[in-house]
Amino acid sequence: MIKQIDLTNKKVIISRTDSIGDVMLVLPICTWLKANFQGIYIYFLGNAYTKAVVNSYDSVDEFIDWKELESKSKEEQISFLKALNTEAIVHAFPRKEIAKLAKKAKINFRIGTSHRLFHFLTCNVKVDFTRKNSPYHESQLNFELLRPFGLTSIPSLEEVNEMTKNFVAKKDELPEFINEKLSSNKTVILHPKSQGSAVEWGVNHYIELALQLEQKGYTIFFTGTEKEGLLFRDQVPFSENIIDTTGKLTLEQLIYFISKVNALVACSTGPLHIAGFTGITTVGLFSPRRPIHPGRWRALGKDVHILVNNENCPTCAAKQKCNCIEQISVERVLNEI
């Protein structure tokens, strides 16, 4: 058993090179590290498309673009990591090539889970826990990796929610057609798609919700990538108060835009997590099927509302593919807004 690792006045790398939602749920561990080690400097190693969300989190000192590092020769990669002079690396997302690099760079403490075979060859501190059947939220599970630094108990979800306050949406210039509508005090973003990362509610429901919100005096913005917009743009009855922004915003702009509206509705996808962190009314639509259920993946934040159709859906309980999420009524979503 290794003695507790002291990161006072030391540098550490948090490595998480997957999607926006996953990255955001690991950010709170950075706040814990800052609170427990004076003078600590935190690098976050991630993919470039998550840089904007990481840079919005005050507990991270510097972002390292994995794709940029990956494009270098192995010798350059090792030299780069050595030059950072870090005391430890935390593999919050197991990735064999990064684990090998950290070992070759001779980072003193290389922390990963004991459930990855390649970690036995590359990590000298292995934490024994499993995510599969855990009752904890994903953000809480990430704290297991901090036990080598003296963490004795997993923070409650309420405590982790408090850590979202370190997320500050940086001001960015928005297109004028959006700016002129933000003066309304009743604004809602609807984000229908998830790039295949979640079970979706259905575009028809978002359209019905938009029409009902419009009748109640709301301004509604549809968001998504250009590719996603092509999937539903021609179905939406866009009008003066139902506006298409798909494909027109950078991630930096989207984060700032989300922080300026009253509410956002989406399934389990990146913009849902961004909305939760910004503190706006966040309505998440979920399947109760494990392991994609809201107990594991709900958005963090002070004003998050989670809807499932039936928590005891027998098909979901059997872990079979199910579209019961589509049975969540528009009226229930409207009530949450």
CATH number at residue 245: 3.40.50.2000
Residues 256 and 128 reside in one and the same domain: no
Domain boundary among 112, 132, 166: 166
| 147 and 40 fall within a common domain | yes
DSSP state at residue 233: G
Nearest-angstrom CA–CA distance, 187 and 311: 30
Residue 185 has what pLDDT? 84
Which segments within the chain are labelled E, that is strand? 11-15, 41-46, 62-65, 88-91, 109-113, 125-127, 187-191, 219-222, 242-244, 263-267, 281-285, 304-307
What are the residues facing 243 on neighbouring strands?
221
User: What pLDDT does residue 3 have?
Assistant: 64
Predicted structure pTM score: 0.96
Q: Both 268 and 313 in a single domain?
A: yes
How do the pLDDT tens digits run along the chain, 337 residues long?
456 999 999 999 999 999 999 999 999 999 999 999 999 999 999 999 999 999 999 999 999 999 999 999 999 999 999 999 999 999 999 999 999 999 999 999 999 998 888 999 999 999 998 787 788 999 999 999 999 999 999 999 999 999 999 999 999 999 999 999 998 889 999 999 998 889 999 999 999 999 999 999 999 999 999 999 999 999 999 999 999 999 999 999 999 999 999 999 999 999 999 999 999 999 999 999 999 999 999 999 999 999 999 999 999 999 999 999 999 999 999 999 9
Do 103 and 210 belong to one domain?
no
Q: Which domain holds residue 73?
A: 11-166
Kindly state whether residues 150 and 206 are assigned to the same domain.
no
Assess whether 16 and 124 both reside in one domain. Answer: yes
pLDDT of residue 2: 56
The answer to whether residue 82 is domain-embedded is: yes
Q: What distance in Å separates the CA atoms of residue 333 and residue 309, rounded to the nearest whole number?
A: 11
